[in-house]
Amino acid sequence: MNREIPHENAENFVQTAVAEYQSPLLRYATRLIGDPDRAQDVVQDTFVKLMAQPPAVVDGHVAEWLFTVCRHRALDILRKEGRMKRFEEGEMERVSAEEPQPTRSLEAEETHDALLRMIDRLPPNQQEVLRLKFQSGFSYKEISRITAHSVSHVGVLIHHAVTRLRAEYAAQRS
């Protein structure tokens, strides 16, 4: 996910970043805060901070920088309100592929929904790293920079989450 954005000038740099990262950041902030309107404010604040940065400062790690700033802003809002909510799963975009057998599609959707419910029961830090890894496509190193956890701790969190999900999923299937 860590793509370089051409930066002939700062305005073009920010416009390109907004076009590429606004939707993923909005999903991420909505999960953190639980309110799409306030999440939009967080994402706008994130891009305002990007506008204040010289492009060279974030060159080569724009995605990490944006997600880190977005996360910090969302957590600041939650702290100011005196509450840290569980990360809530918003509406997931569903990519529908044409399948000749509707039962397979229904089965896949039920499995997907069951996994999302299981993820919702994980501790918040495991939910966050799983979503950054599998939904946003970040590497362990990038997740480490975003969350301020060590790379090894990110690996442990993901390992424990996946192990727990596998066990719970197997128990439901038997």
State pLDDT tens for residues 29-79. 998 888 899 999 999 999 999 988 888 888 888 999 999 999 999 988 888
As given in the structure block, the two tokens for residue 119 are 């993820």
3-state secondary structure of 154: helix
Segment 13-39 mean pLDDT:
90
As given in the structure block, the two tokens for residue 60 are 């080569």
State pLDDT tens for residues 101-141. 566 666 777 777 788 888 889 999 999 998 898 888 889 99
Segment 10-19 mean pLDDT:
83
3-state secondary structure of 127: helix
The tokens 């100011």 sit on which residue? 80
For 56, the enclosing helix (H) or strand (E) is helix 55-58
Q: Is the pLDDT of residue 92 over 60?
A: no
Burial class of residue 44, CB neighbours in 10 A (0-12, 13-18, 19+):
middle
Domain residue ranges in the chain: 10-80, 102-173
Residue among 125, 127, 124, 104 nearest 115 (CA): 127
For domain 102-173, give its CATH number from 3.40.720.10, 1.10.4190.10, 1.20.1250.20, 1.10.10.10.
Answer: 1.10.10.10
- Of the pLDDT bands very low, low, confident and very high (cuts 50, 70, 90), residue 83 is low
